[in-house]
Structure 1
């Protein structure tokens, strides 16, 4: 695996372990093998979506029905045709999809697609071989390379950060945001107001809208919101 695949490993390992899985890397050609309550999950890692990744996922389906592919999260989310085509193909193949926010300090993992459980699986001997290999290891020394509609893209994360800053304030000016270290790109997010999460009070002065308050309460954004609330609360205290 290349450097980018290696970068994907740690966030996914943490994500699976938080879900209660035992995780190991490079088991019987699987980038990541994880198990919980007798269920074997396999994750294949790639720096971008490509046919080689699809072939690998199909090969891993000989071992278990719970196969995911993992890639860095797309910069433009679901708006690109190539993204929709990729989802259509993975759904047809009954392969799950994970994305990792490598462009964020959170490096959060999103479950975009779950593998389908409609297939009939008869490869229990091969699955058992992977589980036996995992049983035989005492040290994890390797580094492995339900549909969620709300994808946390880099743009959406930056917008949520703005919501966290505006939360509890009657209004915020551009100058105040610059003093907090925000770049002009995030100020442009306020002006465009793509999600309607802000209210323009006057030129260069904004407040949080009702839609923005609802976004902060959205469970799918919980990890991101908690991170930026703590970050900016610390800045104010300092």
Structure 2
């Protein structure tokens, strides 16, 4: 699966100085540089280089500064990474290509020619905000079939964990979840119920969620 490529690519980008997280707003990998505004790098993963990967990169180019295509290197050297036409197309579009060996070694096949233009400021802003709000890097990039651990879900789980100890008001939860009032009122996952005016309790669905995603200290507070 594409997720097997995630850690090698993550390590490659981290060595280049980026903060890297997987599955952010539909992108396999999002990497941010230090500074404000950050340089936004997106990398899409596939088991092999193909047209679909290029089409994904075209879509991502509208809200990033740099786009990379990453895939496993063909065992016999007959994959698209060996096709000069494919490499030339990536060069013309300004996309980089990264190849991952069976041993997890990452090689640069094509370097991005130039930073991509910023066209979709709204989506770019959403991408950066989700990356920064998410605690740690809980989801590997590459199309995991499990629910994505978004920043919203992380805050909802923090609320659920606190409500295990008894009924609470939204303001009591702000320390663990800044968006607690909206999360409790919206109750997207069905984890909470209002038992009195402005007072909430945990439902059975919320208890089940805590069993599925037991609390654990985040390794990366960003």
TM class by shorter chain equals 0.5 to 0.7
Question: Please, which of 7, 12, 28 is the counterpart of residue 10 of structure 1?
Answer: 7
Aligned to 1:86: 86
User: Greater helix percent: which structure?
Assistant: 1
Question: Please, which of 28, 32, 35 is the counterpart of residue 31 of structure 1?
Answer: 28
Write out per-residue CA displacement over residues 150-187 of structure 1, whole angstroms, 9 at most, x where no aligned residue: xxxxxxxxxxxxxxxxxxxxxxxxxxxxxxxxxxxxxx
- Cα distance in structure 1, aligned partners of 2:10 and 2:81: 30
- Which residues of structure 1 form unaligned runs of 5+? 146-238
Map residues 106-125 of structure 1 onto 2, 5 A cutoff.
107-117=104-114, 120-125=117-122
The secondary structure found in structure 2 opposite 1:62 is helix
Offset at residue 134 of structure 1 (A): 0.6
Aligned to 2:67: 67
TM-score, length-scaled by structure 1: 0.54
Root-mean-square deviation (Å): 2.2
- Cα distance in structure 1, aligned partners of 2:81 and 2:72: 17
The secondary structure found in structure 1 opposite 2:62 is coil
Structure 1 100/135 Cα, relative in aligned 2: closer, same or farther at 3 Å?
same
Aligned to 2:158: none
User: Size of the alignment, in residue pairs?
Assistant: 139
Map residues 47-58 of structure 1 onto 2, 5 A cutoff.
47-58=47-58
- Which residues of structure 2 form unaligned runs of 5+? 143-222
TM-score, length-scaled by structure 2: 0.57
Q: Are the counterparts in 2 of residues 23 and 35 from structure 1 also a CA contact under 8 Å? A: yes
